[in-house]
Every structure is written in structure tokens, then in C-alpha cells.
A and B are shown apart, each in its own frame.
Chain A
Amino acid sequence: MAYTEEELKKELETKEYEYGFYTDIESDTFPNGLNEEIVIAISKKKEEPEWMTLWRLESFKIWKEMVEPEWANVRYEKPDFQAISYYSAPNKKPKYNSLDEVDPELLDTFKKLGISLDEQKKLAGVAVDIVMDSVSVATTFKKTLAEKGIIFCSISEAIKEHPELVKKYIGTVVPQKDNFYAALNSAVFSDGSFCYIPKGVKCPMELSTYFRINQAGTGQFERTLVIADEGSYVSYLEGCTAPSRDENQLHAAVVELIALDDAEIKYSTVQNWFPGNKEGKGGVYNFVTKRGLCEKNAKISWTQVETGSAVTWKYPSCILKGDNSIGEFYSIAVTNNYQQADTGTKMIHLGKNTRSTIISKGISAGKSQNSYRGLVQVNSRAENARNFSQCDSLLMGNECGAHTFPYIEAKNKSAQIEHEATTSKIGEDQIFYCNQRGIDTEKAIALIVNGFSKEVLNKLPMEFAVEAQKLLEISLEGSVG
């Protein structure tokens, strides 16, 4: 049975807060700039073993030789990598003493999303009542998982507690030299999640970063490693529908998934980083490398709802190495105002009878640019590979853009590849039709957008889907009219 946050919270309301679990870390930040000393210092600060330090240094060396890619359909001012501080310990001190001090616009959004008061405080960085701290929630959560032999912790913890697993798998799906941002991440990653599901175990609940201890301040270079051992299953939720106001402009995460024989990983993301203001000022640059490896009969499904960030550059991909393995990618990318998104997937068919499905829904409003970029590659040994791709774009207004860049490389004659693409616009006639039935324009847009996104929303876990639906509505508020 799938556990929901609500159920868990209710269950825990009666339990006592296990005080003293949390070690308070004083905030400290490194000076700006990046060099070998900084890389070593990060590793030292995190008390990492030597092999990890060396791995970081090797990554740094590779990164130094690389240049920032320019092929994506996005324009932005390149970050000055020497002007960034690469280590900032989680700051435990609350930013505000009460909700009254928080930006009312942010609170308004929380309200629309139906986020509880206590949670609002937490998200906005307001001091939280001690009972509401998620530590106790997380502890119980962890216990349930431990009974099944599931490891779910921060990557820093995993490096110390489960070095054999981390060492064996880190960098095997996204190598250090994979790309500029992956190399940078490998050198300086701040923290992230680690998850291991043992052989034959079906993870009994959705794993959500929400429950992870010390989750605050995972920082701008997040590293995630999920390993599903033979015959296991896990559904992993990343992100949060609540808006994340982050002072760090550059985010370069790496996510690696490994699905061993007969295993299945479902990875769902809702990304709602600060997209910049209505004039296009500020906002997060989100340059992410996400990739999964499927062994025999394994399956990896990526589902993403991307509504935030000023610039998004993200291609969750599947390497279908094992015979009969399956890769899926379901995506909704919303851009509004001056946002730019270049997102899609790569399905690399190596094994026989491998199958992949791509459903991409792009929604552009305001003056934004929304691109789908996808690669379907069928290796010469991949007999009977199949792919189905569907890319739909929905435009709102006359100043936004939707672009589709599908790449197909088939080296085996038995491959069957289908690609469908549509572009439509929310028409005044559709809006008037809804108006005439008593549905106002905002609601009409929400209805039309949800209808458009339904195939992807349906792939999200239930609770997440409801939140994501609300998020879509909020992201597009005021974009027509």
C-alpha cells in the first residue's frame, strides 16, 4: 500500500519528537572561485574518504579542459564560474520570525497550492514549531524502509556508510566527462540523495526527498544515485510543487538511475524553481543531467513536470542495454514570461526487443521559448527495437515559441520508430465556449491546459498529480487576457 504524506503525518502527530537527532551545523561559506584546493576542501568538509576526493579531483581536471555547450536553443548570460561559492553549509537559522515577514506573493501561491501553515513556514524559511519538524517523521519513515533493507539517505551519508555501493555505481551512467555540467557537478557536488533497493524488494511507499533528513541546503550541485537491484521496484519523487526561491542562480544536478535485471524505477519530478520576474530578471539556470541504465527486462520511467527556472536544459534519458528493457519519458514543460526551456530525452536502444515511449507536452505562454529535443538511437545489434514518440505543443498568445528537434538514428533495419507531433493554440473560440458555459477565462485556460497535459499527469502518483495540476494553473495565471 502506498503511504501518503498526510497519512504519515497523522500517524506521527501522536508520537513524541525525538530530540537531539539533528546536529546543528553553523553556517559557513567558502570564498568564491574554483580550484583544486576548493575541491579538496569540499571533500574534507564532508569528511569523505580518499577515493572520493580523488574522484572529485579527476572530475575537476576533466572539467577544466571542457567548454560550456552552446547547442541548446536558449540564450542567457554565461555564469562566471569563479564568482560562485562552491560550498555553503545548510543554514539552520530561520530567515524570518513569523509569516508576516514573508513576501505576500509567495504566501498567496502557497495558499493556492493548499500547503498547510506549518509547511508554509518551513518552505519560506520561518521558524517552525518543534513538533512539526520533519525529523521525527523521517525517522519513522526510515525505520519502515530499514525493515525491508532499503537504504535511503543523503549521498554524503552513503559515501561514508555504504562506500562499496557508491564506489561501484557512481559515474557509471553519467561519466565525469559526459558533459561540461556533469563534470562540474562531479567535482563539487554538495549533497543529494542515495537510494538502494535490495533484490526482489518492492519499495512499499513512494520515496520522496521531502522525508530525507538534513534535506535543507542540498545546494546547487545536487547528486542523486538510485540503484534498484534485481527484481526490485521503486517509485521516487523529486522536488516540490511549492515555489523554491533560491539565491543560487546556477543549478547543475546529476541523477543516475540503475535498474538491474527485472527491476523497475519510476522517477517523478516536479520542478518549480524561481523562474525570474515578469520582466525576465533573475531566475534559476537549471542544467541537469539525468540518465538511467536498464539491464535485462528492466524498466525506467521518467515523468517530469517542469514549470520553474529561467533557463532549463534537461534530458532525462534511458540506456536500454539489456534485452527486453523498457524506457519511458513523460514530460510537461511550461514556460511563461521570459522563461526558456530546452528539454527532452534520449532513448538509446542497445539490447534486443527494447521498447521506448516518449510523450512530451510543451506549453508556452508570454514571451517564452519552449523546445523539445529528443534522440532515439537504435544500435546495430538492437533487433526489433521499437519507439513511439509524441510531441505536442500548446501556444498561448502570439509572442511565445514552440520548437521540436527530433533526432533519429537507426542502425538496425528491424527498428520501428514512430514520431507524431502537433502544435495547437488556445483559441478565443475555445475560451468563449467555456465562458458561455459559465467558466471564467482563468478557469477555462486551466481546463484546456489540464486536458492537454492529461496523458502525462496520469503517470504521476496520485497525490503528486493533484498538486502538479494546481501548479500548472498557477504557472499560467494571467497569461491570456
Chain B
Amino acid sequence: MLKINNLHARVEDKEILKGINLTVNAGEVHAIMGPNGSGKSTLASVIAGKEEFEVTKGEVFLEGENLEDTAPEDRAHKGVFLSFQYPVEIPGVSVTNFMKTAINESRKAKGLEDMPAKDMLKLIREKSELLEIDRKFLSRSLNEGFSGGEKKRNEIFQMAMLEPKLAILDETDSGLDIDALRIVANGVNKLKSKDNAVIVITHYQRLLEYIVPDYVHVLHNGKIVKSGDKDLALELEEKGYDWLKQEAAV
């Protein structure tokens, strides 16, 4: 599904990713953990194609295709989805309208007609139930005045609507209370299949109790310094990151 080779990226003159190697297969869940400033969100943004970041070396492949010259919207059409850590507000554009536009743009890219309104409504109903979203919420302006939890739930709702191949959840757990966390995790689990993959970026073990990863990677100073199974997350929870930092420094 996703293959990253020796990826280096910088913003302005600052190198943030310093040689990332990562392979994610269909049906897998990977967790990326690591201290603040280790490059987790940058990695997510680079995969999604944010232009602010310059890839200086290495490649990202999605289903065997090099994404180097692929615009962010085209990556989205190919099935990359990023659940943002800080979703932006778009005043005057309802959640429904936004989703309708997103879905139809993706369909257009695939040479399909707009989704009929009836099907769109059905899909919205189905997915909003999955995430226990009040339908009134869907007519509100996108993220405007949303609480932290509402924003994150809305991100996962969008993921459910778009049915991506590769979903990257960037700190989706931050700002969520325990009930919201359970709903969001439950949603992600229901969307999981043998044909798609999920990358969960998080600081804490908490979310991983609900979304159980097949692999855990620790990112430090722009590199993956340790990989393991779900037990690695528990170990990190217990010991913190310092021992890994020391190990990496050696």
C-alpha cells in the first residue's frame, strides 16, 4: 500500500525528516509515536503532499506509484486521507456541502458523474449514525465554533464518507474525552478492512487500547529509531521516550 524510502524533507532551511523508511501493507494498522518535534506531523503532511515541505531525498510510493509529482488533491483522489490535528474552519460552508463537493470532485477525477442527491443523503445518514453525529451538526459551518472533540469526530466522519485506502490520523485523540475517544475509535475500527490501511499518530498509548496496531514505530529527530508490535507502545507508556533517545544517540 504505502512504501517510504529514505525520505528526507525540510521546511525552509530546517531539515525535519532525515531518512524515513516505512512499509505499510493493506489490512495493517501502524502507530507512529514519538516526542514533540520528532517529525510525526511533518511525515503526515509530506505523505499528503503539503507544498510547504520540500522533499530533498527519497520517495513515497502509493500502491507502487511514486507520488513525487502528485498534487495533494490527486493524492486524495488516489485514496490518501489525513485526519488533521488542527482542522481549519471554513465559515459559511456546511459540513454537508463540503463533503458533497469533496466526494463529487473525487468522482469527477475518476470520470464519474456527481453522486445522486438521494445516494448522498443515504451515505450521510449511514456514516453520521456510525459516528453518533447529530444531523443538525451537519448543517453547521465546517469546524466553526466546534469543540475540540467535535472537530475530531468530524474528521473521522469525513474519513468514513470518503472511504480512503490509506488513512493517517494525526493526533486524533488529542482533545477527546473518553466517550468521544471510544466513538471515534469504534468508527475507525468499523471502517478498517483487509483492503485499506491506517497510520495512527499519537503521543499516548490510550488511543491504541481502542485501535490496536499491528506495528508501532518510534520517531525521533526525523528518523524511525525503533519498531515493534503493540507491546512497544506499552513500554513507552511506562518508560517514556528518554531511554530511546539515549539509545539513538549511541
Contact = CB atoms under 8 A, between A and B. Distances in A.
Interface string B130-156: 000000000001000000000000000
Given A440-B71, A443-B105, A430 B98 contact: no
A450 B93 CA distance: 8
Given A438-B162, A440-B73, A450 B92 contact: yes
A441 B49 CA distance: 13
Contacts of B89: 430
A438 B52 contact: no
Contacts of B109: 438
A447 B93 contact: yes
Nearest to B84: A433
B221 interface: no
Nearest to B106: A438
Q: Report the interface size class on chain A.
A: 20 to 34
Interface string A449-461: 0111111000000
Interface in B27-55: 48-52
A457 to B, nearest CB: 9
Contact of B92 (A428, A433, A453): A453
Contacts of B82: 436
B85 to A, nearest CB: 11
B162 A451 contact: no
Contacts of B76: 435-438
B91 interface: yes
A451 B73 CA distance: 20
Contacts of B52: 428
B250 interface: no
Nearest to A422: B91
Interface in B98-139: 98, 101-103, 105-106, 109
Contacts of B220: none
B175 interface: no
A86 B93 CA distance: 47
A437 B158 contact: yes
A429 B88 contact: yes
B72 interface: yes
A430 B91 CA distance: 11
Contacts of A454: 92
A447 B91 CA distance: 10
A480 to B, nearest CB: 13
A432 B50 contact: yes
A438 B90 contact: no
Chain A, interface SS category: helix
Contacts of A427: 88
Nearest to A455: B92
B18 interface: no
Interface residues of B, number: 33
A165 interface: no
A437 B162 contact: yes
Contact of A433 (B49, B75, B88, B105): B88
A440 B75 CA distance: 11
Contacts of A453: 92
A91 to B, nearest CB: 43
Given A448-B93, A451-B90, A436 B101 contact: no
Contacts of B223: none
Given A439-B105, A440-B73, A447-B101, A430 B162 contact: no
B77 interface: yes
Contacts of B51: 432
A375 to B, nearest CB: 27
B101 A439 contact: yes
Contacts of A439: 73, 101-102, 105
B141 A438 contact: no
Contact of A438 (B50, B92, B93, B102): B102
B227 to A, nearest CB: 27
B87 interface: yes
B64 to A, nearest CB: 21
Contact of A430 (B49, B90, B92, B97): B90
Given A428-B52, A451-B141, A438 B73 contact: yes
A154 B180 CA distance: 64
A481 B134 CA distance: 37
A437 B90 CA distance: 13
Contacts of B97: 447
Nearest to B45: A432
B91 to A, nearest CB: 6
Contacts of B162: 437-438
Given A437-B162, A443-B101, A447-B97, 19 more contacts: A427-B88, A430-B89, A430-B90, A432-B72, A435-B49, A435-B72, A435-B76, A436-B76, A436-B80, A437-B105, A438-B106, A438-B109, A447-B90, A448-B93, A451-B91, A451-B92, A451-B141, A454-B92, A455-B92
Interface of A: 427-430, 432-441, 443, 447-448, 450-455
21 contacts: A427-B88, A428-B52, A433-B90, A434-B102, A435-B49, A435-B71, A436-B48, A436-B72, A436-B75, A438-B73, A438-B77, A438-B102, A438-B103, A438-B109, A438-B162, A439-B101, A439-B102, A443-B101, A443-B105, A450-B93, A455-B92
A-B interface, 7 closest residue pairs, ranked by CB to CB distance from nearest: A451-B92, A451-B93, A438-B76, A435-B72, A437-B102, A454-B92, A438-B106
